A = this chain, B = another copy of it.
Amino acid sequence: MNAPTDIALYMQTLGQQARVASRAMAKASTAAKNAALLAMAAELRARRDELLTANAADVLEAKANGLEAAMLDRLTITAKSVEAMAQGLEQVAALPDPIGEITDMKYRPSGIQVGKMRVPLGVVGIIYEARPNVTADAAALCLKSGNAAILRGGKEAIRCNQAIASCVRAGLAAAGLPETAVQVVETTDRAAVGHLVAMPEYVDVIVPRGGKGLIERISREARVPVIKHLDGNCHVYVDVAADPAKALAIVENAKTQRLGTCNTAESLLVARPAAPTLLPQLAAMLTAHGVEIRGCPETCALVPQAKPATEEDYYTEYLAAIISCKVVADVGEAIAHINKYSSAHTESIVTEDYTAAMRFLREVDSSSVMVNASTRFADGFEYGLGAEIGISTDKFHARGPVGLEGLTSQKWIVFGNGEVRV
């Protein structure tokens, strides 16, 4: 690797090249984009041993530097992960092309016909941790959505990322697309990130993929829009009109299917009239799964094994075998509690009451609001997006699971016949 010495100049060069490449990508045909994705998949398979060797060197160095076990695990790739990356590229090739879609063409009294065409955002910067699979995944999503990409992965994965980047370039070239359409930042200097997020002339949007610390830092420094994903403090509210069997199944799945995901339930609200019968059953189920219950005084009175919750508990995304619990008067108090304490990710009501369900759907201000379903469904694949760029916890541009459309915009188009404005 030729580590660049002038980081600012280096990043500016990447930006300029990406901007130029983005013009070619915006007009690239669906066939060319798909051909590139399939050629990349073939390259990854053909150069599997090269990738594994590069990764082994990364892992060796990371171990010597004392990288923690969980991160080492995500850094390490196997023959199986290379095959998964290749299949991921093929799946993105199979998705419909979002670009160029024309919608809503309507005639106006002036005679012009006005509507919208879906277009790429331009240049996407992706910043992520030391997970080589994200390199292939992010390249595919940006390419299919007609954007150019600048990828900045964690420094521990630099050799493997460069090997994957080489496969990506080969795939682009095979399809007659510019190799600079996907560029991997070749320096491990952290200053590169600072430059990447502050070049509005060359970069249209930043997508950080990683821990909260990374995302907060990037959002603070960014001078371009950021599609960001912060906390997932998700709630399940069991209404007075809940079907007990559904409540048990949904709370069990939402809390215990996986403890560490952003759509895992972290807080349980139960309507007061239902609490004496339902809360002990729910608590017994959670305790059987090893989940600690931190509850309000009413919860603690009904559930002997519960510990008292603090105010802080209700704000907390545990990502662990702990759940906060509160008895509330009704759906109105549940909504108020959620809108105060939630991180606005995903909330679900369990109820057979139509009016309570519709009110919850309308008034809860979160990116996903559900009736009688597990919060674990909040996911781009479960929602049918075919791919997931990330889950946005913002309201601007995109909310919740973001598919390829999140990397696009719409321009206005007009079909006229010589009309002028009067």
Contact = CB atoms under 8 A, between A and B. Distances in A.
A205 interface: yes
Contacts of A377: 110, 112, 114, 414, 416, 419, 421
Q: This chain: how many copies in the complex?
A: 2
Interface in A330-363: 339, 348, 361-363
A361 B113 CA distance: 13
15 contacts: A27-B363, A110-B377, A245-B418, A254-B420, A348-B416, A367-B412, A368-B411, A368-B413, A371-B415, A371-B416, A372-B416, A373-B414, A373-B420, A376-B421, A399-B412
Contacts of A384: 106, 108, 114
Nearest to A395: B409
A372 to B, nearest CB: 4
Interface residues of A, number: 65
A395 B121 contact: yes
A244 to B, nearest CB: 11
Given A378-B412, A396-B205, A401-B412, A421 B366 contact: no
A421 B382 CA distance: 9
Nearest to A122: B395
A338 to B, nearest CB: 11
The CB with the most chain B CB atoms within 10 A, among A26, A225, A361, A396, is that of A396
A241 interface: no
A292 interface: no
